[in-house]
């Protein structure tokens, strides 16, 4: 099956020349955090790489006949021949979505391109999610049109959890099916290998990888980032950026503030500046920013555990087989961790319990056994849903 994967699975520029054999190129090497803005625009939030690459990794496909692409860009490039060309070239389009069901999102170019296809190419939707508790009438017309098309025409209208499924059913979209995030199904052997014994023994001396919203004052979710930094004071830890460095102003322009060869930022520079900005003692040993997922997973293996406030940061850790605790501060993380019985607590609860008690409780053998039992059930249901439409999942627990 020739598949078109709509989503930024890799951080590369797309060539404007559409000739056989051409592929995208990586951004130029930079040495400042500000210089990463060009690369960041290719995927936006770096967690997008983790979920967008997943379908291409786990579905059996005609590899040479499949591609990553953006239907909006393709519709503009191909013009009147858009629907014909896509129908000639692909047997299935896969939309790996995120939390677009919320006010303030404009999907007009996307839904226009989707309508231009006129049902010529079958498609599936994966990972669609609700953010917050909005009413249907608070969503933009383009989001409502997208949901209506998904509900009517998608072979599979997959959403990330029960909360999103319930909301959609109650608002007139009954075909929504809770299947989870495809990123959890990419490396099931790693997920099933997670063992908390070693990290529980290390307790407070464990080396932690984290991610969150560590911003400067007035930055998006500043309070959450401040709480995370406070909770990890005195803990050996590394921090993974996704996009929050865009709010760092002049700090991001400091020469040699980033080393792309090691995917790390200048820890001493950032610790000093962020400590001043937040009023907390920010003291991370390393700051990471990744342009592709394999480096992310490999970096996870130099740590004992992930404890963080970014869902796909935690998924990257699970994909590497790293024990993982999610800090669930909003409905998005709560919904997905509940769906898979993943270890979770709030940042305030983590601060109160401390690292050792958190590891002992949330990464106990009983807790991880429950996670794995739920995971097997979810993986099997996902495979069954795909199989009904001739789509084979090649990864198995």
177 and 318 together in one domain: no
Whether 395 is covered by a domain: the verdict is no
Angle at 313 between CA 309 and CA 315, to 5 degrees: 115
218 and 234 together in one domain: yes
171 and 202 together in one domain: no
362 and 344 together in one domain: yes
Whether 394 is covered by a domain: the verdict is no
Identify whether the C-beta of residue 325 lies closer than 8 Å to the C-beta of residue 309. no
Give residue 164's domain range. Answer: 3-29+44-186+377-387
pLDDT at 368: 98
161 and 279 together in one domain: no
121 and 78 together in one domain: yes
Interhelix angle 347-362/222-231, rounded to 10 degrees, is 40
* CATH number of the domain enclosing 81: 3.40.50
Helix H segments across the chain? 37-43, 47-52, 54-58, 71-78, 82-89, 108-116, 141-153, 162-170, 188-193, 197-202, 222-231, 267-278, 293-300, 311-319, 331-340, 347-362, 365-387
pLDDT at 20: 80
52 and 85 together in one domain: yes
275 and 356 together in one domain: yes
Angle at 84 between CA 80 and CA 85, to 5 degrees: 95
97 and 222 together in one domain: no
Of the candidates 215, 278, 272, the one whose C-alpha atom is nearest the C-alpha of residue 247 is 215
Structural domain count of the chain: 2
pLDDT at 212: 96
Whether 37 is covered by a domain: the verdict is no
pLDDT at 278: 85
pLDDT at 310: 96
Whether 39 is covered by a domain: the verdict is no
Whether 38 is covered by a domain: the verdict is no
pTM of the model: 0.96
Task: Please give the average pLDDT of every successive group of 10 residues along the chain, which has 397 residues.
Answer: 91 85 90 94 91 96 94 93 96 95 96 94 97 93 98 97 97 98 97 98 98 90 93 97 92 94 97 91 96 96 97 98 95 94 98 98 98 98 98 96
7 and 154 together in one domain: yes
382 and 366 together in one domain: no
């Amino acid at each position: 099956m020739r598949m078109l994967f709509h989503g930024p699975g890799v951080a590369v520029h797309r060539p404007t020349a559409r000739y056989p054999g051409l592929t995208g190129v990586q951004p130029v090497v930079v040495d400042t955090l500000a210089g990463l803005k060009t690369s960041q625009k290719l995927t936006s939030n770096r967690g997008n790489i983790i979920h967008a690459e997943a379908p291409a990794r786990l579905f059996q496909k005609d590899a040479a006949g499949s591609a990553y692409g953006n239907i909006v860009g393709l519709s503009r490039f191909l013009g009147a021949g858009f629907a014909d060309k896509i129908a000639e070239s692909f047997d299935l389009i896969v939309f790996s979505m995120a939390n677009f069901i919320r006010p303030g999102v404009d999907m007009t170019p996307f839904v226009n391109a989707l309508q231009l296809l006129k049902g010529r190419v079958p498609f599936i939707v994966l990972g669609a999610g609700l953010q917050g508790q909005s009413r249907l009438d608070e969503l933009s017309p383009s989001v409502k049109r997208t949901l209506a098309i998904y509900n009517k025409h998608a072979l599979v209208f997959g959403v990330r959890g029960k909360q999103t499924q319930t909301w959609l059913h109650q608002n007139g979209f009954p075909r929504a099916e809770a299947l989870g995030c495809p990123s959890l199904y990419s490396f099931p052997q790693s997920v099933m290998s997670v063992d908390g014994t070693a990290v529980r023994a290390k307790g407070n001396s464990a080396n932690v990888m984290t991610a969150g919203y560590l911003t400067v004052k007035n930055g998006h979710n500043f309070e959450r980032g401040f709480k995370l930094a406070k909770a990890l004071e005195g803990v050996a830890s590394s921090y993974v950026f996704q996009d929050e460095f865009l709010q760092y102003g002049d700090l991001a322009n400091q020469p040699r503030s980033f080393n792309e060869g090691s995917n790390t930022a200048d820890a001493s520079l950032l610790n000093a500046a962020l400590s001043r900005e937040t009023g907390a003692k920010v003291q991370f040993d390393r700051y990471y920013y990744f342009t592709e997922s394999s480096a992310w997973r490999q970096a996870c293996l130099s740590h004992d555990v992930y404890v963080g406030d970014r869902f796909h940061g935690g998924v990257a850790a699970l994909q590497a087989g790293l024990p993982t605790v999610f800090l669930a501060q909003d409905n998005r993380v709560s919904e997905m961790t509940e769906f898979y019985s993943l270890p979770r607590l709030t940042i305030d609860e983590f601060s109160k319990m401390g690292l050792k008690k958190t590891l002992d409780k949330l990464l106990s053998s009983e807790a991880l056994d429950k996670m794995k039992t739920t995971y097997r059930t979810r993986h099997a249901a996902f495979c069954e849903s795909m199989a009904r439409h001739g789509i084979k999942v090649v990864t198995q627990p």
